[in-house]
Amino acid sequence: MNLKALLKALMGKQDSKDVAKERLRLVLVHDRASVSPEFLDIIKEEIIRVISKYMEIDEGNTVIQMHRNEGTAVLEANLAVKAIRRTF
């Protein structure tokens, strides 16, 4: 593993081509689910805001996506939880 790959693995950064590829994939999925990327961004921000009341999350590792499963639109949210907040 070269230094660039090691730093990327440690820092969690993606190449711009990977980011562009993921964005295109999300746009296609959203288009098929009849949900705009802007609307999904609003949902993502709201989910992060609500979950952050109860847990400390790593927003950089948060993935929210829509896809179809057997004709049904599915909203999938994956959030990396750093810690649970014990006081509310």
Write down the pTM of the prediction.
0.57
Q: Alpha-carbon distance 27 to 33, whole Å?
A: 10
For the chain, the domain total comes to 1
- Count of beta carbons in the 10 Å neighbourhood of residue 66: 19
Q: Assess if residue 29 is contained within a domain.
A: yes
What are the C-alpha distances in Å from 28 to residues 11, 45, 60?
28, 20, 22
The pLDDT tens digits for 17-47 are 877 887 787 777 656 666 777 888 898 899 9
**Mean pLDDT, rounded, for 62-71:** 82
How much of the chain exceeds pLDDT 90, in percent? 28
Q: Assess if residue 5 is contained within a domain.
A: no
Q: Alpha-carbon distance 65 to 61, whole Å?
A: 13
Pairwise pLDDT comparison (8 vs 17), residue with the higher score: 17
For residue 37, the model assigns a pLDDT of 79
Closest CA to 39 of 16, 73, 71: 73
CA 50-27-67 angle, to 5 degrees, is 65
- Domain residues for 35? 15-84
